[in-house]
Chain A
Amino acid sequence: MTIRSPQNLVAGLALLAVAAVALLSTGDLGAERFYSIGPALLPRGVGTLLGILGAVFLVGSLLEQGEALGRWPLRGPLFVFLSVAAFAVSIRTVGLALAGPLVAMISGAASPDTKPKELLLFAVVVTALSVGLFRYVLNLPIPILIIPRVLVL
């Protein structure tokens, strides 16, 4: 048995996994009630269809020539993910004034072209602009700077 389309093989497996999660985790919800349908009907129905499609991809990947899986460089996704996650963690704890540059600097690590000093300067300017725009021009309730027990802006 040879794998003719690695991309579709993985795609099929991924769909099967999603289908399994959908079907297993909705097992305890009712699908049918008297004159209406229960909350689990749609997720289970869609999950089943996804499972069937997953199986089709899986079988197809063994029969039909297709695309290779390609490169999966991890540097970009890792640092972009970390930077956005860092914003989520820091926006309420330290505020935008620090969260902004933090996002920029962490995400900078995602690209080999980044020049740290240039980026830091740029990040400070971008953050200052967004503080002015979002907090003072548009009056959005976004925390600017929080130093615990000392200052909340």
Chain B
Amino acid sequence: MQFTLNGATVSVDVVGTRRLLDVLREDLRVTGAKEGCGEGECGACSVLIDGAVVNSCLVAVGQIGGCSVVTVEGLALQDGKPSPLQQAFIERGAAQCGICTPGMLLAAHALLNANPRPTEDEVRVGLAGNLCRCTGYTKIIDAVLACRM
């Protein structure tokens, strides 16, 4: 089966019912998506599938043939430097323990793509599927707001 992962075409020979999260982490060794709960509650395993934020623990890999999958490893700029959003997360203290950070970044990235000038309330809605236990969200929200167009 083929799909695009962070811009490159990948082929995997796996049972289609396996979780996308496991195929990414164990077969492709792309470990940016984390397992926080395994039942779609925490968002630590968030990836983008054709631009939409999805919990990869709830997706069977057989469902994504031909799709474009983006993980946190695919967010950096072409020259490998952190994107403005990643940079804002570092500078504004939005990443503490960092385990929710990949999913949080992808949710924020998708939000800003869909709505380049979100209000604070819109940011809160956009991040509501991603749990963070370290920050109280204030600094994450500020980092996203700092990246408005």
Do they bind each other? no
> Residues of A at under 8 Å CB distance from B?
none
